[in-house]
Amino acid sequence: MQRIPEPEELMDDPAQALAYARADFTEANSLFVELVERQSDDGLHGLLLDLGCGPADIPILLAHRHAGLQIDAVDGATAMLDLARQNIARDHVAGERIRLKCDYLPCPDLERNGYTHVVSNSLLHHLADPMVMWDTVLHCAAPGASVVVMDLARPHSVVAVEALVESYALSEAEVLRRDFRNSLLAAYTVEEVREQLEAAELGGLDVQMVSDRHLAIIGRVS
């Protein structure tokens, strides 16, 4: 099945962003955090960059679990960042260690080679040009930095797409079912991501399926 890009890269409609923020992504978020923690042999500390932070659920969770972590959280959608600011302002434990930034990949203003960890959850499929993700990783990651990028994987057919929508979004609002369907159609396959990594000369990263609908790019920048 050919990839069908999403109509828009950014989730900047306030109603759409709010529906996304209210949805239950506990399972996927827990899987992502587990992958991030597993990749860091000596624990999570130092400076972490989260690309496509959305309402900041994951930065807040990571900051709570790892007291030595400082986080720069980036998103290009002002509607999402408005929700992120509200969530961080309510969190008096972790909020002070999270800095929000509105920017678009490849984020040239971020510190070059300044991050011990670079992570991203569910951003890759939004990108019309996926190479901006890998350009950003190369720009921002310090030598030896851990990288974890998780995203949806495109199914082999429209029938398979609809089956996943029914399995995981049946009780969600219509806007979320629509977005989930569009995201699955816009996602990249494992083989396509491998080609992206080869083109970016990121041989230290590996891509694998980590659930029935998610792939993950994991490794270290040399």
In a domain, 87, yes or no: yes
Residues 101-158 have pLDDT tens digits of 989 899 889 999 999 999 999 999 999 899 999 999 999 999 999 999 999 999 999 9
Angle between helices 131-140 and 190-200 (to 10 degrees): 50
In a domain, 132, yes or no: yes
In a domain, 1, yes or no: no
Cα-only R_g, the chain: 16
| Helices (runs of H) and strands (runs of E) counted in the chain | 8, 7
User: Is 84 part of any domain?
Assistant: yes
Residue in the structure block whose two tokens are 């300044």: 114
Neighbours of 155 (CB within 10 A): 19
Domain tally for the chain? 1
The CATH number given to whatever domain includes residue 172 is 3.40.50.150
Spatial distance between the Cα atoms of 174 and 144, rounded to a whole number of angstroms: 43
At 49, list the tokens. Answer: 């960059």
Q: Is 56 left (phi over 0), alpha (psi -120 to 50) or beta?
A: left
CB atoms within 10 A of CB 181: 17
3-state class of 53 per DSSP?
A: coil
Q: What is the mean pLDDT of residues 58-82?
A: 94
The reply to whether 168 falls in a domain is: yes
5 located within any domain: no
Average pLDDT, the chain: 92
**pTM score of the predicted model:** 0.93
- Edge-to-edge strands of the sheet including 205-209? 98-102, 69-75, 46-51, 115-121, 141-152, 214-220, 205-209
Peptide bond into 14 cis (omega under 30): no
DSSP reduced 3-state for 172: coil
User: For the segment 145-200, what is each residue's pLDDT rounded down to a tens digit?
Assistant: 999 999 999 999 999 999 999 999 888 888 889 999 999 999 999 999 999 999 99
Residue 209's domain spans which residues? 14-220
φ/ψ region of 120 (left if φ > 0, alpha if ψ in -120 to 50, else beta) reads beta
- Residue 188 belongs to a domain: yes
Rounded Cα–Cα distance for residues 136 and 6 (Å):
21
> How far is it, in rounded angstroms, from Cα 54 to Cα 21?
8
pLDDT of residue 124: 97
**Measuring CA to CA, how many Å separate 157 from each of 53, 65, 163, 175?**
29, 39, 10, 22
In a domain, 35, yes or no: yes
